[in-house]
Amino acid sequence: MYGIAVSAIDMAAAILFLEKELRFMADTYQILVADDDDSIVNIIETVLKAEGYRVYTAHDGEEACDIVNTKHPHLIIMDIMMPKCNGILSTMRIRKDYNIPILILSAKAEGSDRVIGLEAGADDYLVKPFYQQELLARVKALLRRYDTLGSIREAKSEEQIQIGDIILNIDTKQLIVRGAAVRLTATEFKILHVMMSNPGRVFSAEELYERVWRSDAYAVENTVMIHINRIRGKLELNPKKPEYLKVVWGIGYVFKEP
């Protein structure tokens, strides 16, 4: 009986230790929640802290930008309708200097609003009201993608992929276009990494979404297209007549040397 009791205590201690380690790992991630609705902020903050994340909060766009500049969070959950500086303008300001993943959270459910948010530089878009588990799943997917790319933790690879005069540096997560460095978001980098690693291969929008966003694809054509167009704007001489990143009508997208 004594041996069994000790074993049970050891098991409980091991479980507790593992839980603490997992909490510590999550706590290394700092998330900024920007929304002018206190009830929404409190709900999201409670959900994230229950998972062990460290949370900063902002109630307007100016405050959100200030926190990004001083605290350097690993992910931002951004509402659109905020005072002083709305979420779209805040996203654009942040995107000029940082490739932090940004999840737009908004009551605006129209497709055009989603397009505006993604074109402003957001990585994902979630409509209110939302399921807490879906929010957590998207947060984890964005952090996992960002972490995998080495933007949070130091990358060990020194590889680069070159196709024509386009170079994708895997170590610095930087795009070199005709000798000039171009800033990429984490999502843009992942899309290019997938496509430039497989030059000449045609990827459907669904396959790109599943590989990059790491979730099931459903009605994702517009989301993928917006990111593709943004990438074209950064690497093509004439984005309307792309030489590298082309569409194969009715099938998908392909990256190949001209």
Q: CA 192 to CA 186: how far, in whole Å?
A: 10
φ and ψ at residue 228, rounded to 5 degrees: -60, -45
User: Which residue has better confidence, 156 or 190?
Assistant: 190
Give the pLDDT of residue 75: 93
CATH of 160-255, one of 1.10.600.10, 3.10.20.30, 3.40.630.30, 1.10.10.10: 1.10.10.10
Confidence of residue 12 (pLDDT cuts 50, 70, 90): low
User: Which amino acid does the sequence have at 158?
Assistant: E
Tell me which DSSP letter residue 247 carries.
E
Q: Average the pLDDT over each of 80-94, 137-151, 152-166, 233-247 and give the range with the smallest value.
A: 152-166
Average pLDDT of the chain to the nearest whole number: 82
| In the chain, where the domains are located | 2-148, 160-255
In the predicted model, is pLDDT for residue 26 greater than 50? no
7 pLDDT tier (thresholds 50, 70, 90) = low
In whole angstroms, give the CA distance from residue 244 to residue 223.
20
The confidence score (pLDDT) of residue 148 equals 61
Fold of 2-148: Rossmann fold (3.40.50)
